[in-house]
Structure formats: structure tokens, C-alpha cells
Amino acid sequence: MWNYQNGYREKITDYMEKLIKQDGYPLEKYSVTTKDRYINIMYRIPYGKCGNTNGQRRPAVLLNHGMICSSAIFIDQNPLGYYLADNGYDVWLLNNRGTTFSTKHEDYDAEKEKDKYWDFGFHEIAIFDLPAFIDFVLDHTRRRTICHIGFSQGATTFAIMASELPEYNEKINLSILLACPILFDNVSFFHVKVSCILGIIIIQILEKIFRLKLHEIPLMAEMRFLMFYAAKNNIYRKISELIMSLIVGYRDRIQLSELDHQRLGITTPNSSSTRQFLHYSQMIRYSKFAKYDYGSTKNKELYGNKNPPLYDLSKVTSPVGIFYGKNDMYNDCYQDGLEKRLGNTVHVQILDHEFYNHLDFLYAKDNIKILFEDMLKLMKKYCHL
């Protein structure tokens, strides 16, 4: 029986590391310390299952996960990490601060000093974690550039990093953005906006009236428990599918028919800070790709204005390839217009599947044909040593 109360972080880490090795791939593990002293874990699959017999150097690719996710989403039931390794790439899998893999800090204890440790959102992940991971890979491999693939929040943090730290554009030979929640002008699902507004209100009530400080997005362990037992109990599975449909658009039963909820529930959903959810909620509510809104008083102190400033996407000058799903509830693929706002969009593709949704980018059973082959073609054009 999977135990979510005692040593679950170690159990999740142990599961992932054993899985990669059992699948026949080489695995390296590294600790990466950020400028603000968070200690995060990154995995490396340096070559594919057949080995690296010719000893040649391979182009490096960094896989960047989403919110309430971890590096597990690119390995367990999603062959992207293995697919890239088998096709000649040096694959690096990051785990952002706050995930079950990365909960250490040089000064703070994530459990005993929650107010200090969990004082971050995806803005901090973008300006501290992602640059640290990129620099580590480049230093370790002695390369000048790296390919970046960001799913969901991984696309958001890339856009923030490249606009706030434009010097990092020179270190990216290509960034592929999958299911990218950046512009929310055309979110067509009414319940998404309602859920965001209600989420903000509930958190404010809990914190201001009941004096409950929510450091992490709540119920993630309970959701993993539900996912883990969904395969054994039809009622659990129906509840799990309903929750997933509300969050990610779980509609294509054919493409997700082979998804093993029990395996998924070991690692996903993963832990994230409450501010990550609140920041997305603000952007969806106001349809602005802006910095975090702390309130007018603190905004004026931090930003010099009562309103948070917008991120300047024109500063994203490294080559970007965007892949849209026709049924992604966070992007209207026909009206999103992100490619016009970025400084150097080189590829835009709406995937040829009518019901392809946010979750399908990870777990659609036909992803090699629907998505990976086209990604690989684009990478071969831009991702060189």
C-alpha cells in the first residue's frame, strides 16, 4: 500500500529513479542551488537505451514541467524523455522548488519554516530556478546553447525569464512551448474564470478570517491518493476523471484510454506553492500577462505603481516554436495570438486532432505521431552542438 503520510517525498523520488533504471536508461542526479539559496534536483538521461557507442556529444535539451507537476510527467507514461534520448539528445529533467523532489534550502526548513520557504510563485521560479538549471547544464556540458521544452507553467516561466533576463535568450537555441498559458484574453471556458475568482476568495477568507496560512496548494496528497486508487475502484475513477476534466479538459477518452491512474497517482499531482495558483488566477481574471498583484500598497513599494507591470514579451528573442491543442481550455488556438507578441516565433502549429486538450500533451497514447515527430523535426533544424 502506498503511504502518503510517512516519507512520501523519499518514496516518490525512489520510485522515479528506479523506474528510469528499470526501463533501461542511464540516470544521473544533480543538486542545483539558486541565487536565492533554494536547492533543487535535476535528472539527466545522457543517451538512449541503446547506449552511446560512438561516444559523440549530443545536443542538450531541458524539459520544464508545469504547476502541480514534476519531472515525472516526462517519463512515467509519457515517453518524451525517452524518445528524445533515443533520438540523439542529452536529456535534462528539472524539478522546480516546492516539488516533492526539491524541498531544500540552505537556510530554511520547508516544514518548520513554511512562511519563509514557501514565499515564492512562478515568477521566482522563472528568474531563479530556470536560469540556474540552464547555467548548470551549459557549464556541465561545456555548451553555449541549450534547447528548452516547456509544458504549461514551463512555458510561462520561460516567457518570464526571457523577458526579465533577456541575456538568457542567447543561451537558448530553441524553446518549444506546449499548452502555453501565457495570454488569457480568449479563455472560453466560463468555469475556469469562475474557479479562479472563487479560489482567490476562499483563500482570502481562510487566511484573513480563519487565520489559516496556506503555503502549498491544498489537497495534492489527497488527489494523489484518489488517483492511485482510481484504477481499483470505479467510483474513485469517475470522481478523478471529473476533477481532471474541470482542471485540464479531460474529454478525449480514446487518447487517454491507456492512462494508468494508479501509476499517475504515485507522483502527480505534485506540490506547488499557493502563490503559483493565485498568480495564474489573477492573470486569468484580468486577462493580463503581468507580475504578481500584492495589493496597491505593496505594489507601489515593489513596482513603483499601484498596478503590477506587464511582462514585455517582445524581449523574448530566442527562437520559439508553439504547439496548440484544439481543445485546450487555457488557449484558444485560433485567437491566442501569442506568436505575434513574442520577438522571434519561428513555428506555430495547431495539432491535427479535434479533441486534443491540455493533458493530452503529456499522456495522449498517439503522441509520437500527433506531436513528437513534428517536435523532433523542428529540433533538428535549430538544436545543434
Q: What is the CATH number of the domain that holds 307?
A: 3.40.50.1820
2 falls within a domain: no
CA 319 to chain centre: 20
Q: Into how many domains does the chain fold?
A: 1
Which residue shows C-alpha cell 476562499?
202
The tens-digit pLDDT sequence of the chain (385 residues) is 444 455 788 999 999 999 999 999 999 999 999 999 999 999 999 999 988 766 688 999 999 999 999 999 999 999 999 999 999 999 999 999 999 999 999 999 999 999 999 999 999 999 999 999 999 999 999 999 999 999 999 999 999 999 999 999 999 999 999 999 998 776 655 556 666 677 777 777 777 776 778 899 877 877 777 777 666 677 777 777 777 777 776 666 788 888 888 888 889 899 999 999 999 999 988 889 999 999 999 999 999 999 999 999 999 999 999 999 998 888 878 888 899 999 999 999 999 998 898 999 999 999 999 999 999 999 999 998 6
Query: Residue 349 domain-assigned?
Result: yes
Tell me, yes or no, whether 32 lies in a domain: yes
Q: Is residue 306 part of a domain?
A: yes
Q: Which pTM value belongs to this model?
A: 0.94
250 domain-assigned? yes
Q: Does the bond joining 319 to the residue before it have cis omega, within 30 degrees of 0?
A: no
Predicted confidence at residue 204, as pLDDT, reads 75
Domain ranges, residue 16: 8-382
Backbone angles phi, psi at 347, to 5 degrees: -160, 130
200 burial class (0-12, 13-18, 19+ CB within 10 angstroms)?
middle
**Residues in Cβ contact with 96 at an 8 Å cutoff, skipping those fewer than 6 apart:** 40, 65, 102, 125, 129, 157
Q: How far is CA 228 from the centre of its chain?
A: 21
- 215 within domain boundaries: yes
Closest CA to 7 of 120, 94, 117, 103: 103
Quick check: is 273 in a domain?
yes
3, part of any domain: no
pLDDT of residue 2: 47
In total, the chain counts a number of residues equal to: 385
How many whole angstroms separate alpha carbon 160 and alpha carbon 378? 23
* Backbone CA torsion sign across 286, 292, 295, 296: negative
